[in-house]
Each structure stands twice: as C-alpha cells, then as structure tokens.
Amino acid sequence: MDAKTLTGSIIRTLMFIAGILGNNWLAICSLPRQKSAIRTNEILFINLAVSNLITNYLVDLPDTMADFAGRWFLGETYCAIFRFCAGLSETSSIFTTLFISAFWHQKLVGSLKRGGAPVQMDSLCLVGCMLAGSWMLAAVFSVPHCFFVSVEGTNGSYEDCVDVFPNETARQTYEAIYLTLANVFPIVGIVFASAQIVITLLQNQQRIRSHNLDQTKETVKEKKKSLENKRDDASVSIVSGTSKGSTSPNHVYQGVPAPSSPNRKRSGHSHHSSPEHKEKDTDCSSGAHPNLPRSSQIPSKPSPNSSTHVRAAKSVVAVASVVLVCWLTHFLLHITNDIHTSSMALEVSSYMAASYMSIIPYIFLHGVKKLSCSFKR
C-alpha cells in the first residue's frame, strides 16, 4: 500500500470511528424514557442516526477493510448490498436533515411569533408518513444498484465494487433524476429553511435590543424622578425644621397652651411622636415606589422554552452550512463524473458524504444540550 492510499484509509477510519460514536450517541440520547413521552424531534434524530449508521456499519467499515486489504474481497453479492446501502443511507439522511430543518423552523417561528403555539410537524402521524415516504423514495433510487454492479479490476490488479449500467444513456438518465430529486430539492429546502431561521433570529435579536433600550430609558427616567422627589422631601423637611426652631415659647399647639415654666416637661402627645405619624413615616421610608411600573422593578427574562428553540435552530443553521459544503461538493463531483468518468471524483464524493455523516450528530447533540452523559429529562 502506497503512502497516498494509506493516508486515505486512515482518514476514512477516523471518520468511521467518529460517525459510529456520534450517531450511536445521538440515537441513545434521543430515546424517550416513556412511550407516551415520545416527541417529533426525538423521532427525527433517531431516524437520522439510523440512516447514518447504515453507512457507518455497512458501507464505511467494508470500504475501509477493502482499502487496507488492497482489493475488494467481499464478493459480488455483498457488492450489490454495499451499493444499495450506500444509496439508501445517503438519500434517507439528507431527507431527514430537511425534515429537521423544517421542524425547527416551525418551532422557532411558533415560539417567537405566536407564543409557542403548536405547529403542523408536532403531529407524530404526519412525521411518520413523511419519513416512510423518504425511505420508500430512497429504496426506489437504490434498487438499480442491486442489479447494475460488478467487481472490476481498476488500476492494474486492484479490484473494486463499481456500478455498471447497460449503456451510457441509462447511466446519465439515472444520475440526472437521482441528483435532481434526492440532492437538489433537499438542499434547496434546507438552505431556504435555514435562511428563514437566520432572518427570524436577526429580527428577534433586533426586537430584544430595542425593548431593552426602551426599558433602560424608562428606568433612567424613573430614577431621575425618584431622586427629584427625594430632594423635594429633603428641602421640605429642612424648611419645616427651621420654622419649628423659630417658634415662640408662647405658641399654642393643638389648642393646648405652652407651659409657662421652662422646667416643666413637654406634653407626650407631640405631633412627631404620634403612632399614626410613625406608621406613615415607616411606610414612606420603606423604599417602595408604588407609582413605578412593575416592568421597571422586575427585569424581564427570556422564556426558557424560547431559548431552547433558538439554540436548536442555531444548530440547524450550522448543519445547513455543513450540508451546503459537503453535499454541494458531492453534487458537483457527480456532475463532473457524468461528463467525464473519473474514479478520483467518485472517491472524493464518498469522502464528502462520510464526513457529513460524521459531523452532524455532534452538532445536533450540542444544539439540544445532550453533549453529556446525563440522561435526565
């Protein structure tokens, strides 16, 4: 085995290990604790993990073993299974990613614009029908691989499992239909849903900033008003204290004449020592401002449910970026191979599909806060 082949085999092995760990982790963390508690996002994540694990176990592992062995040693029968599983897994995976993007777009819009109202894809029956349809479509596109495959020698004595169509017209027709329905449409849907998510997030962020700015201005106004009231109270108390100090000894207070003798004690029923007045002073000095609006006393906090939806929606946008890079490259390489047959283009295309299935489970695990060993609900 030359250095180039060895490097490619090592890279594929690392992607295989990462895919096995990530997709099994995603499937286990998405399992519901109770049958009655199953939700749409859990079904979608489990379906995505199963689709990717088909590629990890039945495609990447045999392909890696064949790379280290230097030839295809699993026979022509498994070659047909190998090509069928590759097409089935890739098609199901990209359609499931499309459904996840659409679901979290609906949840984000429902959470931020309609107060968390239920969405159409909350229906398990609807999601089940959509997933069943995607598996049927994937199976239809994968069936030709069971009949038009062969183990042929390439690059001298090296044997590989390849597709062999009856003629070039049949191959180009199949590739055109497959790439259009199983690649172009899902990619366009994922990009559209992700663009709408980004727009919604930006609008919500702008709305939060404007709300916080208005709330800050209102708080500053209330503080200024409170300071002015305190200053007015202080000035009034100073003026009243001055007037009391200049009161004549013969001043009549509450209809009772002032005592003529300076040694005689003052009456205990003073205005300043009355219980009623003390209670009023206590109420006024307690620091509460009943006239202040409640929103200025208690800061508003974002809803936890809304923040969860936003986090998950951001992970969908990250996955859409990976989809755009990996599957667009996969699509362009297939078109290049249709124009001019190249084993290198098909090899790079398979690497892009394998890298996609190895990366996205970790992005979704991070988005739903399950990148830990905790299984609490």
Query: Distances in Å between the alpha carbon of 223 and those of 211, 228, 294?
Result: 18, 9, 14
Q: How confident is the model at residue 326 (pLDDT cuts 50, 70, 90)?
A: confident
Q: Domain of residue 14: give its range.
A: 3-211+301-367
pTM for this predicted structure: 0.70
pLDDT for the residue 265: 44
pLDDT for the residue 238: 64
Distance in angstroms (rounded) separating the CA atoms of residues 257 and 88: 106
Contact 299, 211 (CB under 8 A): no
Flag whether pLDDT at 22 surpasses 90: yes
Distance in angstroms (rounded) separating the CA atoms of residues 47 and 95: 10
Contact 97, 319 (CB under 8 A): yes
What mean pLDDT comes out for the span 231-249? Answer: 58
What mean pLDDT comes out for the span 324-346? Answer: 71
Helix axes 185-245, 304-339, angle to 10 degrees: 150
pLDDT for the residue 289: 46
Share of the chain residues as helix, strand and coil, in percent rounded to the nearest 5: 75, 5, 25
Q: Which residues pair with 161 in a beta bridge?
A: 151
pLDDT digits (tens, 9 = 90+) for 181-230: 988 899 899 888 888 888 887 877 777 777 777 778 778 777 777 777 77
pLDDT for the residue 297: 41
Is residue 95 in a domain? yes
The least confident of 48-52, 100-104, 329-333 is 329-333
pLDDT digits (tens, 9 = 90+) for 266-324: 444 444 444 444 444 444 444 444 444 443 444 344 444 556 666 766 777 787 788 77
**What is the percent of the chain where pLDDT is above 70?**
67
Is residue 30 in a domain? yes
**CA angle, residues 180, 185, 188, in degrees to nearest 5:** 130
Q: Any idea what the CATH number is for the domain that residue 92 is in?
A: 1.20.1070.10
Distance in angstroms (rounded) separating the CA atoms of residues 358 and 160: 24
Contact 127, 48 (CB under 8 A): no
Is residue 353 in a domain? yes
Structural domain total, the chain: 1
Q: How confident is the model at residue 27 (pLDDT cuts 50, 70, 90)?
A: very high
Q: Averaging pLDDT over each range in 114-118, 129-133, 332-336, which range is the top one?
A: 129-133
Mean of pLDDT over the chain: 74
Cα dihedral 68, 72, 77, 82 sign: positive
Supply the DSSP string of 307-328, one letter for each residue.
HHHHHHHHHHHHHHHHHHHHHH
Is residue 227 in a domain? no
Which two tokens mark 330?
A: 């996969």
Is residue 118 in a domain? yes
Distance in angstroms (rounded) separating the CA atoms of residues 74 and 159: 11
Q: Could you identify the residue written with the tokens 């259009």?
A: 180
pLDDT for the residue 239: 55
Distance in angstroms (rounded) separating the CA atoms of residues 374 and 28: 11
Is residue 293 in a domain? no
Q: Which residues pair with 152 in a beta bridge?
A: 160
pLDDT digits (tens, 9 = 90+) for 128-180: 999 999 999 999 999 998 888 888 765 555 677 888 888 888 888 888 898 88
Is residue 288 in a domain? no
Residue type for position 101: S
Is residue 355 in a domain? yes
Q: Could you identify the residue written with the tokens 């176990």?
A: 57
CA atoms within 13 A on the CB side of 75: 3
Task: Encode 191-227: b = buried (16+ Cβ within 10 Å), e = exposed.
Answer: bebbebbeebbeebeeeeeeeeeeeeeebeebeeeee
Helix axes 3-30, 61-69, angle to 10 degrees: 160
Distance in angstroms (rounded) separating the CA atoms of residues 355 and 327: 10
Flag whether pLDDT at 114 surpasses 70: no
Cα dihedral 155, 159, 160, 166 sign: positive
Q: How confident is the model at residue 88 (pLDDT cuts 50, 70, 90)?
A: very high
**CA angle, residues 22, 24, 26, in degrees to nearest 5:** 65
- Cite the beta strand spans of the chain per DSSP E: 149-154, 158-163
